[in-house]
């Protein structure tokens, strides 16, 4: 009887111990599983963060910024307009000629001549009466600037004007029976409304005794020239 009780107790202890062992093993397996999942999750999270910081992602961001910048530039850039020249009353077009620019073959030049009595006004678009190298001169060469809205001309005036001489420049027209003025600008000869350069030549075959007064009168003609901007957008 004692042997049977002893065996029963031993069996019970074995079962209990076995149950604890199973529980511990199961618990260890559970902990290992949790640990494995935790490491896998961390690795996965690290992978996503790393992917966001890859050069490809940075390149994509730079591309988006570049596109945004280009779009902004396209929106803010002002279109070029066609300019129509309005001359003072009484002036009539004598001739208008358009050719390939002698100074820049990639552009076209237009020279329009107006006539009123003894006076002639020539408007040079993408051209200059002094030539590509500026070697040709008039009796007087005067600077000009566009008005603030770029639709008018403002010549530079002087108290007295020195007439050119043949000794100074062989192209000087002095003595040819007329007064010739060249009006151009090396600093601001391009009109921002249509991105084309302008220069002027005005002549008078009726020579006056007061040279300075005649020069100012001819410059008054140029100052009254005005541009009219149309809504036509140039290509």
pLDDT band at 209 (very low <50, low <70, confident <90, very high): very high
DSSP 158-196: -SS-PPP-TTT-TT--TTSSSEEEEE--SSS-EETTTTE
Q: What is the pLDDT of residue 188?
A: 75
Closest CA to 198 of 138, 93, 122, 89: 122
pLDDT band at 140 (very low <50, low <70, confident <90, very high): very high
Query: Per-residue pLDDT tens for 47-71?
Result: 433 333 444 444 545 545 544 454 4
pTM of the model: 0.65
Residue 34: helix, strand or coil by DSSP? Answer: helix
Element (H, E) at 84: strand 81-86
Which range, of 34-38, 76-80, 228-232, averages the lowest pLDDT? Answer: 34-38
The structure tokens listed for 181 are 């003025």
Q: Check if the beta carbon of residue 229 is closer than 8 Å to that of residue 154.
A: no
CA–CA distance, 174 with 76 (Å, rounded to integer): 50
């Amino acid at each position: 009887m004692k042997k049977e009780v002893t065996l029963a107790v031993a069996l019970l202890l074995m079962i209990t111990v076995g149950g604890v062992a199973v529980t511990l093993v199961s618990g260890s397996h559970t902990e290992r599983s949790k640990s494995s999942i935790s490491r896998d999750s961390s690795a996965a999270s690290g992978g996503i963060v790393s992917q966001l910081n890859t050069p490809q992602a940075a390149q994509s961001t730079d591309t988006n910024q570049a596109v945004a910048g280009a779009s902004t530039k396209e929106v803010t850039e002002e279109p070029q307009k066609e300019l129509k020249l309005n001359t003072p009353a009484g002036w009539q077009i004598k001739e208008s000629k358009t050719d390939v620019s002698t100074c820049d073959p990639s552009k076209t030049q237009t020279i329009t001549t107006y006539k009123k009595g003894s006076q002639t006004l020539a408007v040079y678009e993408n051209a200059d009466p002094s030539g590509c190298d500026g070697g040709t001169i008039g009796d007087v060469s005067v600077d000009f600037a566009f008005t603030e809205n770029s639709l008018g001309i403002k010549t530079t005036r002087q108290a007295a004007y020195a007439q050119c001489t043949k000794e100074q420049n062989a192209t000087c027209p002095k003595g040819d029976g007329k007064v010739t003025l060249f009006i151009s600008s090396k600093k601001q000869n391009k009109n921002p409304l249509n991105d084309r350069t302008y220069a002027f030549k005005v002549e008078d075959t009726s020579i006056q005794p007061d040279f300075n007064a005649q020069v100012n009168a001819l410059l008054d003609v140029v100052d009254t020239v005005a541009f009219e901007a149309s809504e036509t957008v140039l290509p």
